[in-house]
Structure 1
């Protein structure tokens, strides 16, 4: 029995501890999977290219960036927060990492520099939210402008070219026929699933998002938990940026535009509640694949990009209505 459960029983702060028992694959995830299957059926009937192996691998690879961002966003949302700065965090991480690579710094150190940059941005957000008592929306909205400005100032507004072929070869390579970005995000997802479902820290995140005051009474380190989830979000944003840098062969300070929208959409489709205390790693992955499949299918049908943005917005609203309805029944 964990410390949170022991303290909960001693203080009697919660009527039920069901929030401590997330499942690997629940009914909400099953509904998301059904939605994905429906999209696959519709687009395969409209365009036979959709279900070909190359196109499916392309969908997975394109979805890997959003999935990486969305996994970090999911942890933030479960804790009761929001991170609007993931796009600019990715941008500044990318330009720092690219600058180090072009300068001839060994690849492991350059990658580490990019990761540290992303984690630092997340830590800055988390400290202001957890210890200064500021609202996540306001802090990360400020971070959205701040980190974007720093990326533009750092590069003079110009992209950084000359990414080493060694790095590009790794990112664009395959492992057992599966693109490396997909494998990378898959490994990250497994680790995060274990953290959320099988560790005390996962219980802390759910507790803070479910009822922050009761969690504090139960002995949960609320401030430290908040700082950690925002640091995680920043770190995963930097991982996503490195994937894109490897694919494009350049780092653009304007990259990551509207990434926060896609990440929130994937998490919401996957069952994460913007009220906090509820979310799923599996659901978020399915949500990211749904968005990637939808855009891929619409592109194959020559549907213009702004209609794809419209579809994303509608999906977010529908996901929120479903969440509201299920919470009402609960």
Structure 2
């Protein structure tokens, strides 16, 4: 009986951690459990959650994508320049996501075909894509995007912020792909044992390349949300976002070695980071200390996951 309870607690550790965090913060500051603040938390979380969804696919294969922040920057700059020219919003969405996917494809091909460690590849492309963004923007923000475009990040539908609706749709589609399709099963298989997967007839190179395409596309979609919320595209946008995305995936229980984890856990992990950031802001904690707290929480999550394997 005790073993069953321990197993159950471990299975839902991320959700339990989120609930405990919410209770603690609500006791410390009454401003936390207010409708405007809760909607604000969901809106802020949506940006990291969208990137984390793509990152989850990558990490499940045993890879990593450090270039998502730079992908967000270049995709946001392109989306902003198109918005400046009053291009149709739907066309902007499609083109930006495709560009993000193509950027991810570059990573995927080098990792899968070049047989180079994903950490090294995406560390290099992170720098390259950031440089491309500076060249494209000439180092200056792109503004004057129009109300139609900024509605994506600031508008609401029946009282629900549009970014929250976007992440809900993205998460639902990604959950279906990961749990209900052959490709999703192959992602887990490749992460669990790539050699065995290859011997069983799975095109592991294709599976691995495609997860980076999904990661790039997710980063580009997140770029649209960020750019439209702020109303401008900065060449510095997305700096550090890759760390928050990886943290969300890890806090959600996905193993960094691949083959184990869930999309639901990743969304919960993103919520943990969002709630933690919001709570620390409400308590007027210095941003310097916030970084320390967030780092310690992530380290604790990794240590607990390692201990229970």
Q: TM-score normalized by structure 2? A: 0.95
What is the alpha-carbon distance in structure 1 between the residues aligned to residue 136 and residue 186 of structure 2? 37
Moved over 3 A (4+): 26-29
1:296 is aligned to 278
What is the alpha-carbon distance in structure 1 between the residues aligned to residue 221 and residue 9 of structure 2? 30
Contact 1:265 1:312 survives alignment (8 Å): no
Q: In 2 relative to 1, CA 167–131 (structure 1 residues): closer, same or farther, beyond 3 Å?
A: same
Q: In 2 relative to 1, CA 211–27 (structure 1 residues): closer, same or farther, beyond 3 Å?
A: farther
Contact 1:71 1:285 survives alignment (8 Å): yes
Is 1:261–2:233 an aligned residue pair? no
Contact 1:172 1:246 survives alignment (8 Å): yes
- List aligned pairs for 1:212-291, cutoff 5 A: 212-291=194-273
Deviation at 1:193, TM superposition (A): 0.8
Is 1:191–2:181 an aligned residue pair? no
Q: What is the CA deviation profile of residues 159-205 of structure 1, one whole-angstrom value per residue up to 9, with x for unaligned ones?
A: 00011211112332222321110111011111111111111001100
SS class of match (1:255):
coil
Contact 1:212 1:222 survives alignment (8 Å): yes
Contact 1:29 1:270 survives alignment (8 Å): no
What is the alpha-carbon distance in structure 2 between the residues aligned to residue 322 and residue 58 of structure 1? 30
Is 1:34–2:27 an aligned residue pair? no
Contact 1:85 1:140 survives alignment (8 Å): yes
The alignment yields a C-alpha RMSD, in angstroms, of 1.1
Q: TM-score normalized by structure 1? A: 0.89
What is the alpha-carbon distance in structure 2 between the residues aligned to residue 28 and residue 205 of structure 1? 23
User: Mind listing any 5+ residue stretches in structure 1 that lack a counterpart?
Assistant: 1-25
What is the alpha-carbon distance in structure 1 between the residues aligned to residue 43 and residue 249 of structure 2? 18
What is the alpha-carbon distance in structure 1 between the residues aligned to residue 245 and residue 293 of structure 2? 15
Deviation at 1:310, TM superposition (A): 1.1
Contact 1:59 1:292 survives alignment (8 Å): yes
Contact 1:68 1:239 survives alignment (8 Å): yes
Q: What is the CA deviation profile of residues 45-80 of structure 1, one whole-angstrom value per residue up to 9, with x for unaligned ones?
A: 111010011101100100000001111111100011
User: Mind listing any 5+ residue stretches in structure 2 that lack a counterpart?
Assistant: 1-7
Task: Name which of structure 1's ranges 169-178 and 300-309 shifts more when overlaid on structure 2.
Answer: 169-178
Contact 1:29 1:283 survives alignment (8 Å): no
Is 1:60–2:42 an aligned residue pair? yes
What is the alpha-carbon distance in structure 2 between the residues aligned to residue 311 and residue 225 of structure 1? 36
SS class of match (2:150):
helix
Q: What is the CA deviation profile of residues 266-293 of structure 1, one whole-angstrom value per residue up to 9, with x for unaligned ones?
A: 0000001111111211111111111111
Is 1:43–2:25 an aligned residue pair? yes
What is the alpha-carbon distance in structure 1 between the residues aligned to residue 218 and residue 174 of structure 2? 11
